[in-house]
Structure 1
């Protein structure tokens, strides 16, 4: 089992993530690529003291980036998790 702080890397601060938070009450995190839904749920519940109702994950491919004139590199692949909180936990969303 991974340490809780290794599972959740950071909140995903994008326009799509903030829209999901406002409209659907979901919180989006960047998570460890090998973390499963059970580990993610346990980490969020223990770190933020909230009740999670569901977890959905998506693997994101890294983008191609130009390095200099001739070389082309890539950013790392990563994973994000859409966390749906229970009904009484909406106050948590304002704290993020």
Structure 2
């Protein structure tokens, strides 16, 4: 079931980036917008499916924290966004907290 939640996290973050990209690349704005909306719809459907067998607090906590870590990682690696090292440590705590939750 954790695979479904991770898929929802990835699709939600990719949907956000597609919508952001639709504002930057005007020529392909329609394609990015449609892709972003589709990613969000599938993400929320997967999130709903994950709620069937897991507690709400667990699923939404993982989903929110996972989105923060994945979005920061994508921004750093794909878009070259930089942030101070003191912000990397809390992201690592979130990541390892998520890893610990998924292993229990």
Shorter-chain TM range is under 0.3
* Greater fraction of residues in helix: 2
TM-score under structure 1 length normalisation: 0.25
* Greater fraction of residues in strand: 1
